[in-house]
Amino acid sequence: MSVYVILGAGYTGQRVARALEMRGERVVSLRATAGEAHRFDVLDASTYAQLSRCVEAGARVLYSLPVLRTPEGYRATAPLAAPLLAAAARVVYLSTTGVYGETRQVDEHTAPAPRHERERLRVDEENVLRTGPWSTLVLRSAAIYGPGRGVHEAMRQGRYRLPGDGTNLISRIHVDDLAAHCLAALDAELTGCFPVADEAPCAAGEIAAFCAELLDVPMPEFTERLPGDDTRRANRRVDGGAIRRALGIELRYPGYRQGIPASLGSGRETTGSLR
């Protein structure tokens, strides 16, 4: 019985780990948090040795650690972690559609076009993990949302600001649907790099208006003051159909009109046209 290792059991990784445990699988979850039984401190190289003890022969690994922003700049983890995964049979790397940079239309054939250091490091990490002795699948996720995370949560807390004039297109994926992709990917042998997104890319202003009505809050203010690498600057339409077909995924939340009400627990999912 192979062990599944969740390297970075955060927002998405925790859901993947729970689903595997419900299946009766052996799961080791490494959280990037101090003070826990399985601690993995991405800023402390001494904790990396724990990987070699967890990744036994035939292990299937979900690598869900982001490139980190530190006081000294961005930091990648794969160059240090990859040699410790040598016994793994399978690695699924949870990357980001941010690697496509300014590209407006993205599908499974689109090449990365990173604009800044964080995106370049993401591509470097993908390449490091794709050259290992294991089979590798890279899932480039669109903006992840769900309970407690996303535009709806930021607006509910009064801290969301619309980028520019609000016309930029942003693709998203509900965390439960992303977890389903990760589960299927861990058990598959498919290799390569694929974007992951739902079926309803929309303008930032459109989803804000939807949330404002749903939550009965005012529309957020506009802002031009965003760092150059802020993900809210994204302006791309992502087609995630290829990976859904390859893994046999049927989205639970095809778009934000279903996913946001479900995330709020309102029971007010809408079935109108997905724009």
Report whether pLDDT(98) > 90: yes
Report whether pLDDT(173) > 50: yes
201-224: pLDDT as tens digits: 999 999 999 999 999 999 998 876
143-149: average pLDDT: 96
Give pLDDT, residue 53: 81
Contact 47, 56 (CB under 8 A): no
Report whether pLDDT(180) > 90: yes
105-124: average pLDDT: 95
The continuous run of DSSP H or E covering 73 comes out as strand 73-75
State the average pLDDT for the chain: 88
Give the span between the Cα atoms of 42 and 176, in whole angstroms. 25
Query: How many CB atoms neighbour CB 58 within 10 A?
Result: 13
Query: 232 versus 70: which is more confidently predicted?
Result: 70
Q: Which of 221, 236, 232, 229 is nearest to 150 (CA)?
A: 232
Domain boundaries, the chain: 3-264
23-34: pLDDT as tens digits: 999 999 887 654
159-183: average pLDDT: 93
Give pLDDT, residue 67: 86
Query: 201 versus 39: which is more confidently predicted?
Result: 201
Report whether pLDDT(179) > 50: yes
Query: 228 versus 69: which is more confidently predicted?
Result: 69
Give pLDDT, residue 58: 94
The CATH code that applies to domain 3-264 is 3.40.50.720
pLDDT band at 104 (very low <50, low <70, confident <90, very high): very high
